[in-house]
Amino acid sequence: MQDIITIDLDKCVACNRCLRVCPIHEANVATVQKDGQIKVKIDNSKCIACGNCLIACHHGSRHYSDDTERFFKDLRAGVPISIFAAPAVRSNFDDYGRLFKWLRSLGIRQVYDVSLGADICTWAHIRYIQKNGPKPIISQPCPAIVNYVLIHRNELLKHLSPIHSPMLCTAVYMRKYEKVGTKIAALSPCVAKTHEFEATRIVDYNVTFKNLDKYITDNRIALPLESSGFDAYEAGLGSLYPMPGGLKESVEHYLGKTLRVDKSEGPDIVYKALDEYAKQPSSRLPVLFDVLNCAEGCNAGTGCVHNRNIFEINTKMETLRQAAIKENNLEYLEDLFKKFDETFRLEDFIREYVPTPVRPIHFTEEKVNQAFIALGKFDEAEKTFDCGACGCNSCREMAQLVAKGISIPENCIRKMHDDAEKRHEEAKIISKSNLDSFNTILAETSSIKSMTEGIVANVDDITQAISSYDRMVTDIERISEKVNIISLNASVEAAKAGRHGLAFDVVAKEIRILAQSSANSAMRTSEASGKAKSAIKTVTNAVLDINESVKSSYDKIAAASENTKKLFVK
C-alpha cells in the first residue's frame, strides 16, 4: 500500500497529540535527533490511514496525499473521466450543483451519487444475511476499519462484511450496469479511500473534499451560477450513510428490529470495541456491527473541509432524513429494492480481501522492567502515575513502547521533570561550592587590590625621594662649579705670590681636582637617576594596570557572587 500520511519533521514539536489519537501505537516512533530534539516519525507499514493525527496535529507537521493534482492534470490533458460524489458532499459544499457544473465544463462526462451506491450496499447486506443466515458481520464502509483488520486483526477477517463499500458499489454499478468506460474519480471525505481503491482497482482517483476545496481556492476559481445534478436515478436512504449509524438506520428501516444491529464510532471507542469483539463468543455478537473511524461520521471525515460545526451538519442531514422517510417516499423505497432484485447480481458487489499482516514487536516483562528503570520509575506510585502526556493511556503502556524500541524515556514528561529537578539540585550544590570559591577569591582579590594600592603609594614615595635626590645633585653641581672658580682664583693669586704662594697653589689644585670629581659624580648620578625614574614610571604604569584589572575582576566576581546567592533564596 502506498504511504498516505506524511510528516514534516521540521515542524514536529513532539507534543504527542498524534500518539494520543492513534489507535496503533506501533505506527509512531519517537526518536531523539542529533540536535537533541524529540521527533515522532511514522511507520507506514503499520499505519491504517485513519487520519486522526491529521486533525490532532496543530503544528502543520502531518499531511496526507491524494489524487487531486493528478486528477486535474489528466482532466486538462483531455483524459475522459467520470466522477461520483459521496453523500457528504452535501455538508461540505454549500451548492454542490455549481461544483458539478464547473467540473462538467472541464470535461467530466458523468456524475453519480454515492447515495445510490449506499442503497445498493444496504440491499446487498440484507440479501447476503438472508442468503447465508444471520451470522455476525462487521460492516466495512470505512476503509480505516478494513485496514485495521487486514493489517492488525486478521482474526476478525472471517467477520468482515464481504459487501463492497457504498463508493465501490457505485463504481461497480457504473462499470457493469451503466457501462461507463472512462476513468472514475471519487469526490471523497476520506483519506484512507486511497487504499481501498488501490486494493480493488475499480476507482482511479481519490479526490478528497479538503484538497478539492483548496484547489478551487488556490486557483481563485469562481464557480458558475448555474447548477447541475446527478446522472442516474434518485437514491433512497443512502444519503444518511455519512451520519453515524447510517447503515444501521437504513437496515432497520427495511427489516425493523428483527435483527440486532450495534454501532460504534470514533477512534477512542471503535478500535477498542473491535478488540473486544474478537474475544467474544458468537452468541454475544450482533448480526451487524456498524462501525466508523470518524466520531461524527463521514460528514466530518479526515478528508473533509472542516469549516462547519456539527450542528450545521446535523441540521442539513436531518432535512435529508425527513425527505427520505416522508410518507409519499416510502412506496418508492420499497420499489427500489424490487428494482435492485431485478437488476443486480449480489455476486457483483462482493469483495475478496488480501490480508497484509505485520508482526507486532515482541517484548518481555524483563524489558518492561528495564524500561521502568530507564524512566526512573521504581515504585508502584511512580509506575501508575498515568499522566498521559506521552500519548499513552498508562505508564505501563509507555514502558512497553520503550521496551519495543519505538519510544524513548525522554518522551516521558514526568522523567524530564524529575531529571530537571535533579539537575537543578546538582546545579545548586555546584553553585554553593562556587559561592565559597567566590568568597575566597573575593578576599584574596581584595588583599591583592590593597597590596597594589600600597605598591603604588610606595612607588610614589620613591619617586618623590629621587626627585629630592635630583635637587641635591643639582646643588652639588653648583657647589662644584663655585669650588672650581675659587680654585682658579687661588691659582691666580698663588702665581702672583711667587714662591711664597707655592703651597697655596698646591691646595688650589687639589680643590680643583675635587671640584671636577664632584662634577663627574653629579653627572653620573643624574644619569642613574634618569634611568631610575624611567624604570619607576614603567613599574608605576604596570602596577596601575594591575590595580585596574584587579578592581574590574573584583567587581565581576562580586556580581557573580550576588547572582549565585539568589539561587538559594526561597
pLDDT, tens digit, 9 for 90 and up, residues 7-40: 999 999 988 888 889 999 889 998 888 888 898 9
- pTM score, two decimals? 0.74
Integer Cα distance of 193 and 81 in angstroms: 18
What per-residue confidence (pLDDT) applies to 145? 94
Positive or negative torsion for Cα 306, 307, 311, 315 = negative
Percent of the chain with pLDDT over 70: 76
The number of folded domains in the chain is 4
User: In which residue are the cell numbers 438506520 written?
Assistant: 249
In Å, how far from its chain's centre is CA 486? 105
Whole-number pLDDT of residue 256 = 76
Indicate the residue among 322, 348, 374 that finishes a domain: 348
Give the per-residue pLDDT at 258. 83
Whether the predicted pLDDT of 71 surpasses 80: yes
Q: How far, in Å, are 243, 355, 422 from residue 160 at the CA level?
A: 21, 12, 53
Least confident among 19-28, 423-432, 497-506: 497-506
**266 and 246: one domain?**
yes
- Per residue in 435-453, pLDDT (tens digit) is 666 577 667 667 766 776 7
**Residue 484 pLDDT > 90, yes or no?**
no
Beta strands in 243-391 (DSSP E): 261-265, 288-292
For the cut 80, the answer to whether the pLDDT of residue 272 exceeds it is: yes
Kindly state the average pLDDT of the residues 213-238: 87
**pLDDT by residue (tens digit) across 87-100?**
889 889 988 999 99
Same domain, 94 and 200: yes
| Cβ neighbours of 5 (radius 10 Å) | 24
Tell me the chain's radius of gyration from C-alpha atoms.
49
Q: What are phi and psi of 36, to 5 degrees?
A: 90, -5
Whether residue 116 has pLDDT greater than 60: yes
| Range 230-246 average pLDDT | 69
Residue 552: inside a domain: yes
Q: Is residue 355 part of a domain?
A: no
- Which of 40, 65, 90 is at the close of a domain? 65
Mean pLDDT of 46-64: 91
DSSP letter assigned to residue 349:
G
Q: Do 147 and 218 fall into the same domain?
A: yes
Closest CA to 141 of 408, 351, 357, 332: 351
- Region of poorest pLDDT, from 20-29, 57-66, 374-383, 462-471: 462-471
Residue 239 sits in the same domain as residue 179: yes
Distance from C-alpha of 493 to C-alpha of 491, rounded to nearest angstrom: 5
pLDDT at 493: 65
Is 176 a member of any domain?
yes
Residues 143 and 234 in one domain: yes
| 12/81 same-domain check | no
CA–CA gap between residue 110 and residue 180 (Å, rounded)? 9
Domain-located, residue 339: yes
User: 314-333 burial string, b = 16+ CB within 10 Å, else e?
Assistant: beebeebbeebeeeebeeeb
Please indicate, yes or no, if residue 470 is contained in any of the structural domains: yes
Residue 143: band (very low, low, confident or very high) from pLDDT cuts 50, 70, 90: very high
Give me the percent of the chain exceeding a pLDDT of 90: 39
Residues 64-77: what's their mean pLDDT?
96
Residues 375 and 335 in one domain: no
Listed range (215-229, 308-322, 491-505) with the worst mean pLDDT: 491-505
Convert the pLDDT of each residue in 543-570 to its tens digit. 677 667 767 766 777 776 676 666 555 5
Q: What is the DSSP letter of 163?
A: B
For 192-217, the pLDDT digits (tens) are: 999 999 999 999 999 999 999 999 99
Please give the pLDDT value at position 355: 93
CATH code, domain carrying 462 = 1.10.287.950
Judge if 231 and 187 occupy the same domain: yes
> Where is the domain boundary, 42, 65, 88?
65
Same domain, 203 and 342: yes
| Shared-domain flag, residues 384 and 493 | no
Distant-in-sequence contacts of 475-482, Cβ < 8 A, 24+ apart = 476/518, 476/521, 476/522, 477/518, 477/519, 477/522, 477/523, 479/518, 480/515, 480/516, 480/518, 480/519, 480/522, 481/515, 481/519
CA dihedral of 560, 565, 567, 570, whole degrees rounded to 10: -160
The CATH number for 60's domain is 3.30.70.3270
419 within a domain of the structure (yes/no): no
Are residue 91 and residue 56 in the same domain, yes or no? no
Provide the residue range defining the domain that includes 378: 365-411
In-domain check, residue 418: no
What pLDDT does 514 receive? Answer: 63
Max Cα–Cα distance, the chain, nearest Å: 177
At residue 336, what is the residue type? L
Distance CA 21, CA 270 (A): 12
Residues 41 and 55 in one domain: yes
Find the angle CA(406)-CA(411)-CA(413) to the nearest 5 degrees: 150
306: cell is 472542516
Does residue 147 lie within any of the structural domains? yes
> What is the C-alpha to C-alpha distance for residues 212 and 193, in angstroms, rounded to an integer?
15
Cell numbers describing residue 538: 614603567
For residue 431, is pLDDT > 90?
no
How many Å apart are CA 554 and CA 445, to the nearest integer? 6
Per residue in 452-462, pLDDT tens?
Answer: 677 667 766 66
Give the separation between CA 528 and CA 544, rounded to whole angstroms: 24
CA distances in angstroms from 533 to 85, 464, 538, listed in the order given: 103, 10, 9
- Mean pLDDT (the chain) is 83
pLDDT for 100 equals 96
